[in-house]
Amino acid sequence: MALWHDRAGKLSPLRIFVLLGLFAPAVAFIVDVSFRGDRPPPEMSVAIHHAGDWALRFLLISLAITPARQILNWPRLIQVRRMIGVGALAWALSHFLLFGIDLMFDVSKVLEEVVKRPYLVVGFAAVLILAVLGATSFDAAMRRLGGKRWRNLHRLAYVAALLGVVHFLLQAKFNVSGPVMMAGFLLWLMAWRAFDRRGAPPGFAVLIGLAIAVPLLTAVAEAGWYAWKTPAPPLRILLSNINFEAGARPALWVLTGAAIALAMFLVAKMLKPAPAAA
Ligand code: HEM
C-alpha cells in the first residue's frame, strides 16, 4: 500500500497533506541554502539544529494525535499517527547523521563526544527508543507482540519526548524559552493522557483545568530555571509573563495551545452534539 493510500486502498487527502508536511521543513531548508543571494552558506550547526527542532516537534505532534482525535471527534486522524511518529524518527536520524557528517563520520570521535556530554547521552537514548518504536511500528510487529504489549511498548514515545526535551534544555546555552515551551506542551499531553486513562475521554472541566494549570506550571518552571542558573530575580521573570517586556514567554504559547484545544472541543460539541438520553 502506498503511503498516500488509506487502509481501504483509496487516495487519502489527509495522508497526502501530512506527508507533504513532514517533508516541508527539509524543502524550506534546501531552498534557503540554494537561494541565499549575498548571504554566506549556513554552518553545519544550523542544519543540526533545524533537524533536531523538527524531530521534537513531530514527536510531540504524533503524541497530540490521540487527544486531537478525541477532542474533534474525528476517528480518521488515527490514520496519520504512525506516519508522523516515523517522520519524527526520520528527522531524529537525520539530526544524528548531520552530527556524524560534522565529525567527518569518525565513529570513535562521535562515540567519544556522545559519552563525554550528558546532553548527547540523553539524545542518544531518545534516538534508541525512537528506533525501537519505528522498528515495531508495522502491522506484522503489532500482531506478533499482541495489542496490549504493543501499546505498552509504544507508551515509550512519552519517554523519548521527555528525553528530547531534556536534551534540548541541557544543550541550550542561556535562552531556554524553546525547551521550556516544549516541556509545557509535553506536560499538557501527559496530563491529558493521565485523565484519559480514567475511563471516559477528558471533557470540558479537564480541558479548562489544563488550560489554567499547565501554563502556570510552565511559567513557574521557567522562573525556577533562571533563578537556579542566573542571578535574575524569579519574580521579575514571572512578571514578564504579563508585562511582555521580553516578548511572548513560553507560558503564553502553552496557554495558546491549551486554549485552541478547548476551543476545538467546544466547536466539535456544537457541530456534533452528544445524542440525547432516551
Ligand atoms: C544521538 C542522538 C543525538 C545527538 C548526537 C544530538 C546532537 C545534537 C547537537 C550536537 C545539538 C546542538 C548542540 C549545540 O549547538 O551546542 C543538538 C541540538 C538539539 N537536538 Fe539533538 N541530538 C541527538 C538526539 C536528539 C533527539 C532524539 C531529539 C528530539 C527528539 C533532538 C533534538 C534536539 C533539539 C530540539 C536541539 C536544539 C535545536 C535548537 O536549538 O534549535 N536531538 N543535538
Where does a domain end: 127, 155, 171? 171
Same domain (yes/no): 160, 37: yes
Same domain (yes/no): 141, 232: no
The count of other CB atoms within 10 Å of the CB of residue 34 is: 8
Same domain (yes/no): 63, 200: no
Where does a domain end: 156, 171, 186? 171
Instruction: Report the residue among 91, 129, 171 best suited for mutation to probe ligand 1: largest number of ligand atoms under 8 A from its CB.
Output: 171
pLDDT tens by residue, 9-67? 899 999 999 999 999 999 999 999 999 888 998 999 999 999 999 999 999 999 999 99
Count Cα neighbours of 214 within 13 Å in the Cβ-side half-sphere.
29
Same domain (yes/no): 32, 163: yes
10 domain residue, yes or no = no
Range of the domain at 204: 174-278
State how far the Cα of 180 lies from the Cα of 165, in Å rounded to an integer. 8
Count of domains in the chain?
A: 2
| Ligand 1 site, residue 57, Cβ cutoff 6 A | no
Same domain (yes/no): 116, 190: no
Q: Enter the C-alpha cell of residue 202.
A: 477528558
CA nearest to 127, candidates 94, 82, 174: 94
| Ligand 1 site, residue 53, Cβ cutoff 6 A | yes
What mean pLDDT is predicted for residues 205-229? 96
Which pLDDT band holds residue 169 (cuts at 50, 70, 90)? very high
Determine the distance separating the centroid of ligand 1 and the alpha carbon of 75, expressed in angstroms: 33
pLDDT tens by residue, 134-160? 999 999 999 999 999 999 999 999 999
pLDDT at position 272 = 77
Residue having the nearest C-alpha atom to atom 14 of ligand 1: 171
pLDDT tens by residue, 123-133? 999 999 999 99
| Ligand 1 site, residue 163, Cβ cutoff 6 A | no
Same domain (yes/no): 189, 139: no
The count of other CB atoms within 10 Å of the CB of residue 27 is: 10
Determine the distance separating the centroid of ligand 1 and the alpha carbon of 269, expressed in angstroms: 40
Same domain (yes/no): 197, 113: no
6 domain residue, yes or no = no
| Ligand 1 site, residue 52, Cβ cutoff 6 A | yes
Same domain (yes/no): 126, 55: yes
| Ligand 1 site, residue 168, Cβ cutoff 6 A | yes
State how far the Cα of 230 lies from the Cα of 128, in Å rounded to an integer. 33
Same domain (yes/no): 167, 182: no
1 pLDDT above the threshold of 80:
no
What mean pLDDT is predicted for residues 182-192? 98
Same domain (yes/no): 25, 63: yes
**One-letter amino acid for residue 211 of the chain:** A
Which pLDDT band holds residue 246 (cuts at 50, 70, 90)? confident
| Ligand 1 site, residue 126, Cβ cutoff 6 A | yes
252 pLDDT above the threshold of 80:
yes
Which pLDDT band holds residue 161 (cuts at 50, 70, 90)? very high
pLDDT tens by residue, 64-101? 999 999 999 999 999 999 999 999 999 999 999 999 99
Which pLDDT band holds residue 106 (cuts at 50, 70, 90)? very high
pLDDT at position 201 = 83
| Ligand 1 site, residue 176, Cβ cutoff 6 A | no
Residue having the nearest C-alpha atom to atom 40 of ligand 1: 49
Q: Enter the C-alpha cell of residue 38.
A: 549575498
Determine the distance separating the centroid of ligand 1 and the alpha carbon of 111, expressed in angstroms: 15
pLDDT at position 275 = 63
Helices within the chain (DSSP H only): 13-34, 44-71, 81-102, 107-116, 118-135, 139-145, 147-154, 156-171, 177-196, 204-229, 234-243, 250-271
pLDDT at position 64 = 98
Where does a domain end: 171, 195, 218? 171
